[in-house]
Structure 1
């Protein structure tokens, strides 16, 4: 018996396991190890002009007659074996075909379920998004309403503050403010006011009372001494202020060693005083407005000598004028 020279085989070559002999080295190999089919094996053996050589042999070696061990055509066992193999191959192909089909169906079902799941999720999210958009729109409308109400309340509040300030300012219409007088120990503010009257050559009896104004700002922010508030007889305020514009008063006029200037102005409420300061610091900057003053408790501005006089009632008016002249 000859054996197959294949390194993976080494079994005998028989009729049930047919094979070929190499035309050069003479070694045998099973047809299934080459590999070739039984029909190809029969065709090689039936043709004298054709030889077979193994892979390791020189292809230019002189041809020899192919030696082969062929299966017996009448061998029932071999036929049955081939039929069994064919049946197994057929069954395997059917099984693989069915397996592939089942896998495709399973994948298709899983993809469809996944798509359905995410489609439902997207629909849920879209519904929630629509609800949120409705809520946001409603909140935007509510916010606009609140802003409008706030604006109206702010306007009313500003109007009420202006009216209250006017009432307070009216209560000061008989009072003047003397600024620049240095504070002394045991000073008599009424006597200081009467000395100012003598300098101005107005009636000293117009003074009905006087007091040093309290300073609310911290000491580090205070500029100059606190002013003196003088209460005059009704109708005398304008006379004092008009006369004061024609005279220059210093500390020497009061018997003080200081040469600092002393001047008179209307007594103003804190709100009016702040508004006057705001208008001067903002509007007179860079010569935007030439004149900024206060008369009768009203803050007035004038851009130049030929311009009309405008009244400043709030900080908003100052901002409007700044924008116009920006």
Structure 2
């Protein structure tokens, strides 16, 4: 029994020593990890202090503008025809060729990549004039697009009279196609210009310009913040 007690005591002491050593090693590991975490926190804190957030915001803003400009560039050969009466089984190609002929521009199928109505079809409402969806035309050459836009500007205010299109006489509009972002900015700019008596709001090559009156410097609208700078409100 004495030998057994002695053996058990030695075994217990040996195990306790092992446990103590393991606890010491674990404690040292935890301390080392805490030290690394603290170092990382210090580095993050230094980076936050040294990083100018305004610089990052400026870079993001410039990148957003480049993306919008790239999107608009993809529409460089597109034109939007608005006001064209819409019927089922219509020949959109024939409509475009007829309108182009009326404003003095001769085009054929080889000049057109694609033509289609865009957007959901609008339901007819009682006591309200029907608004047909616009026709979007993608042309093969930029020169043809520019010729159509120039002719439309010269004959501003022309309509469907004499074009043998269905329905009553309607005004027709030919404009360059804008990206979703630029379309939104253009609509906002026109509303603000009307409210604040600015005389000129126009687009040229997908760019939006505003001029208060003849002789004043023109301003370009790239983003919503420009609306505030130009008009004093957004």
Shorter chain as normaliser: what TM range?
0.5 to 0.7
- 1:159 lines up with 2:68 in the alignment: no
Structure 1 counterpart SS, 2:81: strand
Distance change in 2, residues 1:152/1:278 (3 Å): farther
Distance change in 2, residues 1:160/1:224 (3 Å): farther
Shift of 1:305: 0.5
Partner of residue 320, structure 1: 229
Partner of residue 242, structure 1: 150
Distance change in 2, residues 1:164/1:219 (3 Å): farther
Shift of 1:255: 2.0
Distance change in 2, residues 1:154/1:255 (3 Å): same
Do the aligned partners of 1:202 and 1:240 also contact (CA within 8 Å) in 2? yes
> For this pair of structures, how many residues does the alignment match?
180
Alignment partner for residue 199 of structure 1, among 86, 92, 102?
102
Q: Deviations over 1:122-153 (max 9, x none)?
A: xxxxxxxxxxxxxxxxxxx99x96x963x544
Shift of 1:281: 0.9
Normalised by the size of structure 2, how large is the TM-score? 0.67
Do the aligned partners of 2:122 and 2:133 also contact (CA within 8 Å) in 1? no
Do the aligned partners of 2:122 and 2:132 also contact (CA within 8 Å) in 1? no
Partner of residue 304, structure 1: 213
Structure 2 counterpart SS, 1:311: strand
Q: Deviations over 1:160-182 (max 9, x none)?
A: 22211211211111111001113
Alignment partner for residue 285 of structure 1, among 179, 195, 201?
195
Superposition pairs of residues 1-326 of structure 1, within 5 angstroms: 149=53, 151-205=54-108, 206-215=111-120, 224-234=131-141, 235-247=143-155, 248-252=157-161, 253-287=163-197, 289-323=198-232
Shift of 1:283: 2.7
The structure, 1 or 2, with the larger RCO (C-alpha pairs under 8 Å, 6+ apart) is: 2
Shift of 1:322: 2.4
Structure 2 counterpart SS, 1:250: coil
Distance in structure 2 (CA, Å) of the matches to 1:317 and 1:162: 12
Q: Deviations over 1:35-62 (max 9, x none)?
A: xxxxxxxxxxxxxxxxxxxxxxxxxxxx
Gaps of 5+ in 2: 1-44
